[in-house]
Amino acid sequence: MRLPFRKTLDNITAYKPGKPIEDVQREYGLEHVDKLASNENPLNCSPLAIEAVRKAAANLSLYPDGNATELKKAIANFYGVKETEVMPTCGSDEMVSLLAETFLDPGDETIMADLTFTSYIIAARMVDAKVVIIPLKDFKLDLDGMAEAITDKTKVIWLCNPNNPTGTMFTEAELTAFMAKVPENVVVVYDEAYVEFVTNPDYPKDSYKLYQKYPNMIVMRTFSKVYGLAGLRVGYTLANEEILNNVNKIRKAFNVNRLAQVAAIAALKDQEFVEKVHKVNKEGKEYLYKSFEEMGIKYVPTEANYIFVDVGRDCNEVFVELQKRGVIIRPIKETFVRITIGTMQQNQRLVSQLKEVLGK
Ligand SMILES: Cc1ncc(COP(=O)(O)O)c(C=O)c1O
């Protein structure tokens, strides 16, 4: 007898997170393991955030502020936007699901790239939407292809800039041309989880306020990456009030926990930390580019804190071999892996182990 699981679950593959350090230590009896698999921050987070968490730990028996009022205020002040245009969530990942539930009825079409962030497809399938997949072109989102795929049934388009896992971006001019082709009643989710790492000057300027220019656009950002608060789960969305009021109807009452709220407020105040992370990432990126070139390995230039690398061998094999040597990376497909940029020491260890694995 089959329990009444929803049919759509047959089409959903569970999200596969990066392998935890503890698992690899246990499996291979290793003392030191570097995790370069989940685009986490190698510098941890701002000391101000740690201090705020320490203080807030005195009140763990109390529910958090369900409206995250102070955090909303802090984000609104940081960007100079209205509090009603800001919504913090339990990671931006939660917002992906909330948006699918807000806008997609069964059978509605939703357009996304492949490869891109896997939460979009899980969220869309969860609500029985019809997923229209547009393959990447030269590792970049094919914005022309995505615009051409719009039909009367299209409700939501998912854009990831820079794109995960390839690290590529589209420019302001490309985005403007794309938006000119998108009808006003089609929602564009613009996911900028890695925006703070971008170095290319052609990246869309002041992209946080694109929702003001395009009322059908929703900008998602996170505290998980450059701010280093992935363990606390807090992200935020900037969008017009009407959209956020509707999302608010289905949001869980206490979706952003007490520690996450205070840590995010403190983290925003420490822009020096953000600059330091940006700098370490840029230096790491240049070192890794140079090392890959010396090894004769192809990679895709990145605007994020990870690099999409063609290791020229089965990605799962390379993943396992590196793991045995204390480095966790992410196998993606075929000969492609995604490697998070770490501290210089971590990058050097990765390069030396990769050389060994690939016999370079
Ligand atoms: C492109 C992209 N969007 C969103 C997220 C979700 O981040 P979080 O839920 O930690 O805010 C991630 C996490 O890896 C990501 O890569």
> Around 315, how many Cα atoms within 13 Å sit in the side-chain half-sphere?
15
Tell whether ligand 1 has an atom less than 6 A from the beta carbon of residue 193: yes
Alpha helices in the chain (DSSP H): 21-28, 47-56, 69-79, 91-103, 119-126, 143-148, 172-181, 210-213, 241-250, 258-269, 271-295, 315-324, 344-358
> Model pTM?
0.96
Residue 187 Cα to ligand 1 middle (Å):
19
| Best mutation site among 222, 236, 303, 341 for ligand 1 pocket (most ligand atoms within 8 Å of CB) | 222
DSSP annotation of 13 reads: P
pLDDT at 179: 98
pLDDT at 165: 98
Atom of ligand 1 nearest to the CA of 233: 10
pLDDT at 275: 98
pLDDT at 19: 79
Residue 88 Cα to ligand 1 middle (Å):
14
Tell whether ligand 1 has an atom less than 6 A from the beta carbon of residue 39: yes
Residue 193 Cα to ligand 1 middle (Å):
6
Tell whether ligand 1 has an atom less than 6 A from the beta carbon of residue 234: no
Tell whether ligand 1 has an atom less than 6 A from the beta carbon of residue 235: yes
Atom of ligand 1 nearest to the CA of 90: 9
Atom of ligand 1 nearest to the CA of 230: 10
| Best mutation site among 224, 237, 338, 341 for ligand 1 pocket (most ligand atoms within 8 Å of CB) | 224
Structural domains of the chain ordered from first start? 7-44+272-358 (3.90.1150.10), 47-270 (3.40.640.10)
pLDDT at 14: 87
Compute the Cα dihedral for 24, 26, 27, 33 and give only its sign: positive
Residue 92 Cα to ligand 1 middle (Å):
6
Tell whether ligand 1 has an atom less than 6 A from the beta carbon of residue 92: yes
Tell whether ligand 1 has an atom less than 6 A from the beta carbon of residue 160: yes
pLDDT at 187: 98
Give me the residues of the chain with pLDDT under 50, please.
Answer: none
pLDDT at 232: 98
Burial 114-131 (b: 16+ CB within 10 A, else e): ebbbbbbbbbbbbbebbb
Residue of minimum CA distance from atom 12 in ligand 1? 193
Main-chain dihedrals φ then ψ at residue 49, nearest 5 degrees: -70, -40
Tell whether ligand 1 has an atom less than 6 A from the beta carbon of residue 230: yes
Tell me the sheet residues that pair with 191.
160, 220
Residue 70 Cα to ligand 1 middle (Å):
23
Tell whether ligand 1 has an atom less than 6 A from the beta carbon of residue 116: no
C-alpha distances in Å from residue 165, one per residue of 9, 305, 338, 355: 24, 10, 7, 22
Alpha-carbon span 239 to 217, nearest angstrom? 7
- Tell me which residue of 260, 270, 271 sits closest to 229, measured CA to CA: 260
Atom of ligand 1 nearest to the CA of 163: 1
pLDDT at 95: 98
- Tell me which residue of 322, 326, 332, 333 sits closest to 355, measured CA to CA: 322
Rg over CA atoms, the chain: 20
